[in-house]
Amino acid sequence: MTDRSYSSPSARPSVAPPSAGVGYTTAAIWLHWTIAALLLAQLALGWIMNEVLPDHTPNQALAESIHISLGLTILILVLARIAIRLTHRPPPLPADMPRWERVLSGAVHFMFYVLMLVMPLSGWALVSLGNHPISFWGLTWPHLPGVNAITGNPAPKATRQALKHFHVYILVWIFVVNWALHVAGALKHQFDGRPVLWRMTWLRPPAPPTGP
Ligand code: HEM
Ligand code: HEM
């Protein structure tokens, strides 16, 4: 994997080959945009399957089976992403960034990691209630260990409803607010002279002003 972290500002050329080190690692960038796209598709699919398609129809069953397989795929990608994050330090933020912005950006990123884990895990817990088999793109997938031991089997209706509410409503709204803060932050910095957007892309930073 190419390490794109930079060591000093003077090492930043305006036009550089892809291997010249700036920004996040190539794997982190791929995973960031792939997971972001899949999460948005997953939100849309969850909504279509629950709110648009008529209940108990073959189309709804198909949408649900794709939602489950895609959600578990996202979980695997997120675990890979966390492993990369724990073993590669992100590039340092612009030195002149105010403290409150650093704290807010760190909190939003941390919250995203929590959500990226808890959203698929809560969905997995939901389909692990009872004894229904779980299919992962046609393969057998295990139940989330311990769920039936905690809730009882069959789980009380109230427990099922609470878990469903948590998965389809509470987490989704926290995610939407976090996402709005994240995108607003990325765009703000892009235009306030401390651009960070390029760090999460294959682009290079703008060249520093030179000469008189
Ligand atoms: C990875 C992130 C995930 C996101 C963002 C997500 C999002 C959603 C959304 C938005 C809904 C429907 C909301 C509505 O009714 O408007 C939903 C429903 C559902 N999700 Fe997920 N989901 C994810 C992962 C999973 C996983 C991994 C599973 C199972 C293994 C799963 C199982 C379900 C089920 C069974 C429902 C229907 C619940 C019901 O009966 O109402 N989800 N999800
Ligand atoms: C579902 C959507 C998204 C999720 C879950 C997500 C998640 C994340 C996370 C967790 C990080 C922190 C990386 C780290 O330091 O470990 C990050 C960084 C970043 N994201 Fe996103 N992101 C999403 C969408 C977007 C979008 C739409 C944009 C562009 C407007 C964007 C721009 C960035 C940028 C520029 C960074 C790097 C910030 C920095 O240099 O410190 N993200 N994202």
In a domain, 207, yes or no: no
Structure tokens at 122: 């809560």
Question: Which ligand has the minimum distance to the alpha carbon of residue 52?
Answer: 1
Q: From CA 33, how far away is CA 37, in angstroms rounded? A: 6
Dump pLDDT digits (tens) for 132-143.
Answer: 999 999 999 999
The pLDDT tens digits for 20-47 are: 347 899 999 999 999 999 999 999 999 9
Residue 38 Cβ < 6 Å to ligand 2:
no
With respect to residue 31, please indicate whether it lies within any of the assigned structural domains: yes
**Residue 64 CA: which ligand is closest?**
1
Asked if the structure places residue 52 within a domain, the reply is yes
pLDDT at position 9 over 50 = no
Q: How far, rounded to the nearest angstrom, does the alpha carbon of residue 21 sit from its chain's CA centroid? A: 24
Lowest mean pLDDT among 6-15, 89-98, 156-165: 6-15
Q: Is the minimum distance from the CB of 126 to ligand 1 under 6 angstroms? A: yes
Domain extent for 82? 18-92+100-200
Give the CATH number, domain containing residue 55.
Answer: 1.20.950.20
Please report whether residue 8 resides in a domain. Answer: no
Question: How many domains are contained in the chain?
Answer: 1
Tens digits of residue pLDDT in 194-207:
888 889 998 877 66
As a whole number, the mean pLDDT across the chain is: 88
CA distance linking residue 33 with residue 190, whole number of Å: 18
Model pLDDT, residue 125: 98
129 part of a folded domain: yes
Residue nearest to atom 20 of ligand 1 (CA): 123
**pTM, rounded to two decimals:** 0.89
Confirm whether 210 is domain-assigned.
no
